[in-house]
Structure 1
Amino acid sequence: MADMSPIDVQKALKGADYPASRDDLVSLARSNGADEKVVDKLSHAGTKKFDGPNDVQKAIFGND
């Protein structure tokens, strides 16, 4: 995967229950077989808790 897309993140977080902690989402992404780039971005997201998928996208891609 050359670049990570929002769809890659959505696939990695399939089945996530929100609100969710960063650690929970990292674990879910790993168990969903996410690319290491996605896992790394989640691991280093500045937010510790996410209220929903939009929060995740903002933290990873900076979409305000």
Structure 2
Amino acid sequence: MADLSPIDLQKALRGADYPADKKSLVDCARKNKADDKVVSRLDGLKKDSFDGPNEVQKAVFDH
């Protein structure tokens, strides 16, 4: 998705504890006042559990 940058994703997930499930990542993004496009992308991920930020980024951008 061209309108979502890795930096947007990093800002949205600032303070996230890993491993994390999808719901906690969405909650973290909302708490960080992330843009709706970031929240909806996280909420739409097919995977439910992530070991770290690199895994989240791969799932978001390599889907």
TM-score normalised by L of structure 1: 0.92
1:8-47 to structure 2, matched below 5 A, reads 8-47=8-47
Are 1:60 and 2:60 counterparts?
A: yes
Give the C-alpha shift of residue 51 in structure 1: 0.2
Measured against aligned partners, the alpha-carbon deviations of 1:40-62 in whole angstroms (never above 9, x if no partner) come to 00000111000000110111000
Let me know the Cα RMSD of the aligned residues.
1.4
Q: Tell me by how many angstroms 1:10 deviates.
A: 0.3
| SS in structure 1 of the partner of residue 18 of structure 2 | coil
Tell me which stretches of 4 or more aligned residues in structure 1 moved more than 3 Å: none
Q: Which runs of 5+ in 1 are unaligned?
A: none
Give aligned-pair identity as a percent: 60
TM-score by length of 2: 0.93
Distance 1:27 1:16 in 2: 9
How many residues were matched structurally? 62
